[in-house]
C-alpha cells in the first residue's frame, strides 16, 4: 500500500523519547511491506545527519519549523479567542503549516496515497472531513487532550488552573469534532478507548499499546542491590516535572531517613528549572539527556514512576520493565498494564500515596527475591506482549483492513 504518515515532530532518532519513539518504530515496521512517505517539520535540535539517516530508510519530506507564537498577555488572549471561535487548540495551531496542508491537499486530489496516518492528534488538523469518503484516514492518539486536562484539574497538577478551566469544555468540543473525521482511531489503552467512545459513539476505535526495542533495552545481567532510585522521562513535560518534584520533595526525604545512603537519578532530556532545583538535595542527580537510558536503568535498584496525571501507556514504564529494573508506579504510571491480580504473576508494585510508596520501595530495597521476581516477570511480560514487532503487526492490520 501507499501510505502517507504525518508527524509534526521530527521522529528520529528513537532515543529522543516521547511520541517520537512510537512514530519511528511504527514507521520502521511499515516500510518492510509498504511504500511510506513521511512528512515532518524541523526543530532547533534536529541535525543534518539525523535528516540524512531518516531519509535513508523512507521517503522523507521535511518542512520548516513553525513560526514563533506571540508572547505576553495579549498573545494569550488572542489564542483563546481563536480557540473559542475556530475550535482548534493553540498547541495544534502552533504546529500547523499551510505548506504542509497544500502538499497534502494536492496528494489527496491526485490519489497519490491509499492511507493517511496522523501520528499524534495534533496532526489531525490536516485531514478534511470530506476525505473520509475518498481515502482511509487514521489518527494515532497517544492520549486524550480533554481527559488529560480534566485529570490535571482534578488532581491539582494543572500548570494554569484558570486557563485549563476555560479550555476544558472547548477541548471536549474539539475532540468530539475531530474524531468524526477519521475512518479509524488508534489509542494506547482501554481507558482512553472507553472515554473517547463516550465522546463519539460511532467512532471506530482500536487499542494498540506502545512497545519496546528489546535490543536497546536488554535484560540486566545482575541485580545491583543497594538503595539507588531512578525516575525517567522528558523533564520539560508537565506531567514528568510534577512526578519528579512530587517524589523528590515529599517521598524521597522520608526514604533518606530510613536509608541514609539512598540516591536518586532523574534521567531525561531538557530538565525544567523546577527539576534542576531538586539537586539542592545532594543525594539527587539530574542528568539531562543521556546516550544510553538502559545503562542508568541497569544501575538502579528500583525505577519509580510516580505520575499523578497523564493518560496513555507510558514508554518509561515499558522500558524499565524490559530492562529488568523493578518498578514502583502509580495507577497513571502503570495505566494499560496488567501488573497484578488473581492468577497474574506480580510484574510491578503499585503505589498512589506517600505511605504506599514508602512501603513498596522499602520492600524492594530489603528483599532481593522480590526484586528478582518482578524483574523476570516484567521482562517476560514485555517479550510476550509489548515488543515493537508485535505492536507494529497490530498497527499494520488496522491499516490494511
- Position 195 confidence tier, pLDDT thresholds 50, 70, 90: confident
Query: Average pLDDT of the chain?
Result: 93
How crowded is residue 61: how many other Cβ atoms within 10 Å of its Cβ? 13
Kindly state whether residue 218 falls inside one of the protein's structural domains: no
**Residue 142 sits in the same domain as residue 169:** yes
**Residue 300 sits in the same domain as residue 179:** no
Kindly state whether residue 219 falls inside one of the protein's structural domains: no
- Answer whether residue 69 shows pLDDT above 70: no
What pLDDT is stored for residue 144 in this prediction? 84
What pLDDT is stored for residue 283 in this prediction? 98
**Residue 200 sits in the same domain as residue 296:** no
CA–CA separation, 321 and 220 (whole Å) = 10
Residue closest to 313 by CA, chosen among 294, 297, 332, 330? 332
What pLDDT is stored for residue 70 in this prediction? 64
**Residue 203 sits in the same domain as residue 237:** no
**Residue 204 sits in the same domain as residue 232:** no
**Residue 194 sits in the same domain as residue 243:** no
**What does the pLDDT look like over 54-67, one tens digit per residue?**
999 999 999 998 87
Residue closest to 217 by CA, chosen among 12, 49, 383? 383
Specify whether the CB–CB gap between 267 and 17 falls below 8 A.
no
Number of structural domains, the chain? 2
What helix, strand, coil percent values describe the chain, rounded to 5?
Answer: 50, 15, 35
Q: What CATH number does residue 87 fall under? A: 3.40.50.2000
- Position 284 confidence tier, pLDDT thresholds 50, 70, 90: very high
Kindly state whether residue 244 falls inside one of the protein's structural domains: yes
| Cα 255 to chain centroid, rounded | 29
**What does the pLDDT look like over 214-255, one tens digit per residue?**
999 999 999 999 999 999 999 998 999 999 999 999 999 999
- Answer whether residue 15 shows pLDDT above 90: no
**Residue 292 sits in the same domain as residue 367:** yes
**3-class SS of residue 271:** coil
**Residue 91 sits in the same domain as residue 204:** yes
CA–CA separation, 46 and 50 (whole Å) = 7
**What does the pLDDT look like over 74-117, one tens digit per residue?**
777 888 888 888 889 988 998 999 999 999 999 999 999 999 99
Owning domain of residue 104? 2-211+388-400
- Answer whether residue 200 shows pLDDT above 90: no
- Answer whether residue 17 shows pLDDT above 80: no
What pLDDT is stored for residue 82 in this prediction? 85
**Residue 190 sits in the same domain as residue 138:** yes
**3-class SS of residue 62:** strand
**Residue 290 sits in the same domain as residue 315:** yes
What pLDDT is stored for residue 384 in this prediction? 96
Average pLDDT value for residue range 129-141: 92
Kindly state whether residue 78 falls inside one of the protein's structural domains: yes
What pLDDT is stored for residue 372 in this prediction? 97
Amino acid at each position: 500500500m501507499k501510505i502517507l504518515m504525518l508527524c509534526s515532530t521530527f521522529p528520529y532518532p528513537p532515543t529522543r523519547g516521547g511520541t517520537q519513539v512510537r512514530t519511528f518504530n511504527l514507521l520502521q515496521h511499515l516500510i518492510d511491506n509498504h511504500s511510506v512517505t513521511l512528512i515532518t517539520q524541523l526543530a532547533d535540535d534536529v541535525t543534518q545527519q539525523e535528516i540524512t539517516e531518516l531519509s535513508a530508510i523512507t521517503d522523507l519530506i521535511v518542512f520548516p519549523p513553525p513560526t514563533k507564537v506571540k508572547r505576553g498577555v495579549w498573545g494569550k488572549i488572542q489564542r483563546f479567542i481563536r480557540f473559542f471561535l475556530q475550535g482548534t487548540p493553540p498547541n495544534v495551531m502552533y504546529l500547523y503549516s499551510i505548506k504542509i496542508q497544500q502538499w497534502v491537499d494536492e496528494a489527496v486530489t491526485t490519489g497519490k496515497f491509499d492511507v493517511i496516518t496522523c501520528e499524534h492528534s495534533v496532526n489531525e488538523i490536516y485531514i478534511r472531513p470530506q476525505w473520509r469518503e475518498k481515502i482511509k484516514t487514521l489518527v494515532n492518539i497517544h492520549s486524550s487532550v480533554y481527559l488529560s486536562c480534566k485529570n490535571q484539574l482534578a488532581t491539582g497538577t494543572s500548570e494554569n488552573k484558570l486557563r485549563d478551566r476555560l479550555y476544558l469544555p472547548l477541548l471536549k468540543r474539539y475532540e468530539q469534532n475531530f474524531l468524526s473525521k477519521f475512518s479509524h482511531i488508534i489509542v494506547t489503552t482501554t481507558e482512553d478507548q472507553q472515554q473517547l467512545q463516550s465522546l463519539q459513539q460511532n467512532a471506530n476505535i482500536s487499542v494498540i499499546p506502545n512497545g519496546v526495542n528489546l535490543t536497546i533495552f536488554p535484560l540486566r545481567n545482575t541485580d545491583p542491590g543497594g538503595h539507588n532510585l531512578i525516575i525517567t522521562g522528558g523533564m520539560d513535560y508537565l506531567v514528568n516535572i510534577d512526578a519528579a518534584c512530587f517524589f523528590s520533595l515529599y517521598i524521597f526525604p522520608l526514604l533518606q531517613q530510613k536509608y541514609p545512603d539512598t540516591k536518586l537519578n532523574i534521567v531525561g532530556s531538557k530538565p525544567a528549572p523546577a527539576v534542576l532545583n531538586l539537586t539542592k538535595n545532594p543525594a539527587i542527580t539530574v542528568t539531562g539527556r543521556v546516550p544510553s537510558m538502559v545503562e542508568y536503568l541497569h544501575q538502579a535498584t528500583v525505577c519509580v514512576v510516580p505520575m499523578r496525571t497523564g493518560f496513555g501507556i507510558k514508554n518509561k514504564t515499558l522500558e524499565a520493565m524490559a530492562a529488568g529494573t523493578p518498578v514502583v508506579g502509580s495507577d497513571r504510571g502503570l495505566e494499560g498494564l496488567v501488573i497484578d491480580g488473581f492468577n497474574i504473576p506480580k510484574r510491578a508494585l503499585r503505589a498512589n500515596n506517600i505511605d504506599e510508596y514508602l512501603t513498596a520501595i522499602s520492600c524492594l530495597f530489603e528483599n532481593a527475591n522480590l526484586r528478582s521476581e518482578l524483574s523476570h516477570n516484567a521482562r517476560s511480560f514485555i517479550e510476550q506482549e509489548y515488543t515493537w514487532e508485535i505492536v507494529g503487526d497490530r498497527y499494520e492490520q488496522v491499516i490494511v483492513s
